[in-house]
Amino acid sequence: MQQKWYNATEVEVGSLNVKRRFYMETIEVNRLSALAFFAAGEKYKGERYFWQNREKTFTLVGLGHAYTIENNTGHTRYDEVAQEWKQLTKNIVKEEDLQPILFGGFTFDPQNKTLGEWSAFPHSFFAVATFQLVIRHDKAFVSIHYITEKENSAQIFDQLRQERDHLIHAAQVKEVKTYEKPVMTSYQEPYKEEYLQSIQQVTDCIKAGEAQKVVIARSLALQFEEKVASPQILSHVIHEQPESYLFGLEHDDMLFFGASPERLVKVEEGHAFSSCVAGSIRRGQTSDEDKELGQALLNDEKNLGEHHYVVEMITETFKKNCSNVKVPKQPKLLKIRDIQHLYTPVEGILNKDATILQLVKHLHPTPALGGVPRQEAMEMIRAFEQMNRGLYAAPIGWVDADGNGEFAVAIRSAALVGDRAFLYAGGGIVEDSTPQSEYEETLVKFRPMLRALGGNLGE
Ligand SMILES: C=C(O[C@@H]1C=C(C(=O)O)C=C[C@H]1O)C(=O)O
Ligand SMILES: [Mg+2]
């Protein structure tokens, strides 16, 4: 077991300029199960997270909060998080695999005042984990982070080391535990009529020239026989949705989780990447039918319209923040288990003064989840949707202290609160949208999380 140790560094954090010491230690460990590591941290329930990138080359698990950055401000929230993170990490020694990671998300819309399952959730919520597991290209590292105002912390740190060793031991299992799916006792589509009507109304507004595209979403409400545990759900999310970002973020009694195919932004050593994912059709029953559906999607005016707005906006944002911006002229197909989308990757070289959190600030919400023009679309979403999106359709992901990081758009997602779950899905409404087909599109988009939760929609 290779062991690396950093001396404690003293950094000043927060607006009060309290002197805090930031202790960290990282060790490389033999292969272990990320899910078993998450489950072993039961003691930290409410303060855990799980993340895996689309390519499955980077897995991140956090147990316990060494430090959190939270705020409830509006447009300044991105800069505030960036500022506090910079303060916290400015004096630490940085190496790729051996540095603290900040994981969390920004809610979809701080101006939405609708009450519900998200009422207690901060509009920015990020954490540095007490125990952080990183699996990168088959190498696993476990870090302890301890941030304190106390002068003498040697004893506490020793206790954390013991705890870490237990967690690692529990996660180095030969066979990962399998979990049953929860037993669902009720399935509801709240405000279904209002949703169908809103699609008509939004389409009418678009025809009247009030906006060009608006993404309207709705939720499913599920009830289970008993409380559902986070590892139980994550085990099914992991196994059933291999082609996506997988994420789970606990906050008090809630687990927000999902499997999203959509990258908002990734920054790696000065290169920035985004993806335009908009326009949808179901998968075929046979490979011939699947190809036909894909071809139909690539040539469908309505879906090309939905897609085009996203490409235009992301390209424009990249041109303001990057050089060498590359965007293919035609979308490709992105095929995932239940659905196929139109997909256009965008990339560039980040300008010297640009950062990943700035890109998140400018990109969110893209017209894939908000609309065009942005402000008008956001107002219509606030007016028509009978829910608060919380982290659904919002940026979720991580940054390190070097400015690398990745954010997914948290779609195909759900919030689990005790014995209840809320699933979210929507679609891009344009001039020629119809309520019934949009409704059906949301049913397809609910499928992955519904399946993970033990339900199905007549598949
Ligand atoms: C809004 C969602 O997805 C977005 C809307 C899409 C569409 O309308 O075609 C496709 C992908 C996403 O950009 C969702 O999954 O809830
Ligand atoms: Mg659509």
Q: What token pair was written down for 366? A: 């893209």
Judged against a pLDDT cut of 80, whether residue 39 lies above it is answered with yes
The confidence band for 138, taking pLDDT boundaries of 50, 70 and 90, is confident
- Write down the H helix ranges in 269-428: 287-298, 301-321, 356-363, 374-384
Which atom of ligand 1 lies closest to the CA of 310? 13
Regarding the beta carbon of 357 and ligand 1, being less than 6 Å apart is answered no
Judged against a pLDDT cut of 70, whether residue 310 lies above it is answered with yes
| Tens of pLDDT, residues 353-378 | 999 999 999 999 999 999 999 999 99
| Tens of pLDDT, residues 338-350 | 999 999 999 999 9
Regarding the beta carbon of 117 and ligand 1, being less than 6 Å apart is answered no
| Tens of pLDDT, residues 274-290 | 999 999 999 999 999 99
- pLDDT for the residue numbered 2: 46
Ligand 1 centroid to residue 252 C-alpha, Å: 28
Start-to-end Cα distance in the chain: 47
The confidence band for 1, taking pLDDT boundaries of 50, 70 and 90, is very low
399: left (phi over 0), alpha (psi -120 to 50) or beta: beta
pTM reported for the whole predicted model: 0.97
| Tens of pLDDT, residues 47-65 | 999 999 999 999 999 999 9
Which atom of ligand 1 lies closest to the CA of 427? 8
Ligand 2 centroid to residue 338 C-alpha, Å: 14
Which residues, in sequence order, are CB contacts of 45 under 8 Å at separation 6+?
230, 250
State ipTM.
0.99
Pick from 220, 308, 336, 411 the residue to mutate for probing ligand 1's pocket: most ligand atoms within 8 Å of its CB: 411
Query: Residue 345 and residue 331: Cα distance in Å, rounded?
Result: 8
Average predicted confidence (pLDDT) for the chain: 94
Q: What token pair was written down for 381? A: 């979403």
Ligand 1 centroid to residue 139 C-alpha, Å: 34
Fold (CATH) for 184-452: Anthranilate synthase (3.60.120)
Pick from 195, 274, 280, 338 the residue to mutate for probing ligand 1's pocket: most ligand atoms within 8 Å of its CB: 280
The confidence band for 243, taking pLDDT boundaries of 50, 70 and 90, is confident
Listed by start position, the domains of the chain span: 3-171, 184-452
Query: Residue 270 and residue 354: Cα distance in Å, rounded?
Result: 9
Judged against a pLDDT cut of 60, whether residue 450 lies above it is answered with yes
Strand runs labelled E in 72-225: 102-106, 124-136, 139-148, 184-188, 213-224
Regarding the beta carbon of 336 and ligand 1, being less than 6 Å apart is answered no
